[in-house]
Amino acid sequence: MSPDKLIYMANQIATFFDSMPEAKAIEGVALHINDNWEPRMRRQLFQIIDAGGAGLRPLVLQSASLIRRPIAA
């Protein structure tokens, strides 16, 4: 998947949870990604985050510590 598409998808999830209280929103983003994204997508997300997270909404970055990091391929 292209990095732009992955960033777009992660940001859409963050937008959905944006109206909730911060703690619930952070947890919601992480839960959605953990439950619905396959390891390859989460691996690619962490590559983007580890490179500085350019383009990702702050809520995605805040939820990173709760997202399961897949084992390197």
| Cα–Cα distance, 70 to 34 (Å, whole number) | 10
pLDDT tens across the length of the chain (73 residues): 899 999 999 999 999 999 999 999 999 999 999 999 999 999 999 999 999 999 999 999 999 999 999 987 6
With respect to residue 49, please indicate whether it lies within any of the assigned structural domains: yes
- Answer whether 33's CB lies under 8 Å from 42's CB: yes
With respect to residue 72, please indicate whether it lies within any of the assigned structural domains: no
Q: What pLDDT score was predicted for residue 71?
A: 87
With respect to residue 73, please indicate whether it lies within any of the assigned structural domains: no
Q: What pLDDT score was predicted for residue 73?
A: 63
What is the model's pTM?
Answer: 0.94
| Cα–Cα distance, 51 to 24 (Å, whole number) | 26
Calculate the alpha carbon distances from 49 to 19, 20, 21 in Å.
23, 23, 23
- Answer whether 61's CB lies under 8 Å from 33's CB: no
49 is in which domain, residue-wise? 3-20+27-66
In total, how many domains does the chain have? Answer: 1
| Cα–Cα distance, 20 to 2 (Å, whole number) | 29
